[in-house]
Structure 1
Amino acid sequence: MDELNALESWAGALLSKLAPAARRSALREIARELQRSQRTRIAQQRNPDGSAYEKRKPRPKRLRDKAGRIKRAAMFAKLRQTRYMRAETDALGLAIGFAGRVARVARIHQFGESDRVASHGPEYKYPARVLLGFSDADREMIRDLLLRHLAT
């Protein structure tokens, strides 16, 4: 959270110099680019610090299970869709988050909380897989976009 406060204080001072319409435009462009970078990073299965997401826990084989039924596709494929990952902007700021029921799933993985695997199944503590966060490239991109808007 400290990195968010530092970014907010630095960017807030620069954004306050812009007119409200220009500020809204700058924030909209920053939100769009941040959303794109978050989607790309989630697709690559990476945390903001560059480390890989912890892999899924292997399931024990059962006699009646079909072979290969463990989902091997990339995690969070639907979460990164525009339908679920939303960006909101106004003259005061921007917010990127998840909408609807998937927000709960995202929160559980973001903070590594416990949840039930199935509706009446066992409880499992999920490892923290940071879905939304700032990487060094994101900070540079925000700085460059802000400076471009200030120069025009």
Structure 2
Amino acid sequence: MLREVACDVRRIQQANIIAQRLPDGTAWEPRRVNARNKMGRIRCGMFAKLKTAKYLKAQANAHAAEVAFVPGVQKLARVHHYGLRDRVNQRGTMVKYAERPLLGVNNEVESLVYGILMRWLE
């Protein structure tokens, strides 16, 4: 049962990352415009790889269900989730990133978990 909950919650979180919206449904703050970028260029969405099952794991055991990023990308996810400062590259300057919560609980997640629990209790 908890495995089903974790997989369904991960699916909802992936949909939020694809749609580039906060858990409450509002849109993320857009990227800053860089003078070097050419106008009209199509850019890929933010966190294109971060949403994949390789990096966003759903785990469950007898007592809990968990959706989390793998340790290799946790720092990147934490910096963007909380809007912290980080280096662009190893020797680069420090940059303050916009706060873009990647994971969170909303009414959709709560109703999904409630529905799965009620189905299993029948």
Q: TM-score, normalised by structure 1?
A: 0.75
What 5-or-longer segments of structure 1 have no aligned partner? 1-25
Aligned residues: 122
Give the alignment of 1:3-14 within 5 angstroms: none
Q: Distance in 1 between matches of 2:19 and 2:111?
A: 20
The partner residue of 2:2 within 23, 27, 44 is 27
In structure 1, the residue matched to 2:67 is 96
Deviation at 1:60, TM superposition (A): 2.2
The alignment yields a C-alpha RMSD, in angstroms, of 1.8
1:101 is paired with a residue of what secondary structure?
Answer: helix
Higher relative contact order (CA 8 A, sep 6+): 2
Of 82, 104, 109 in structure 1, the residue corresponding to residue 53 of structure 2 is 82
Runs of 4+ in 1 over 2 A off after TM superposition: none
For residue 40 of structure 1, the aligned residue among 15, 32, 35 is 15
Matching of residue 60 in structure 1 with residue 35 in structure 2: yes
What is the alpha-carbon distance in structure 1 between the residues aligned to residue 89 and residue 34 of structure 2? 14
Deviation at 1:67? 3.8
- Report SS of the residue matched to 1:95: strand
Alpha-carbon offset, residue 127 of structure 1: 1.2
Aligned to 2:116: 145
Q: What is the percent sequence identity of the aligned residues?
A: 36
Write out per-residue CA displacement over residues 46-104 of structure 1, whole angstroms, 9 at most, x where no aligned residue: 0001110111111123xxxx746x77211011001000001111011011111132111
TM-score between the two structures when normalised by the length of structure 2: 0.92
**1 or 2, which has the higher helix percentage?**
1
Q: 1: CA distance between counterparts of 2:66 and 2:59?
A: 5
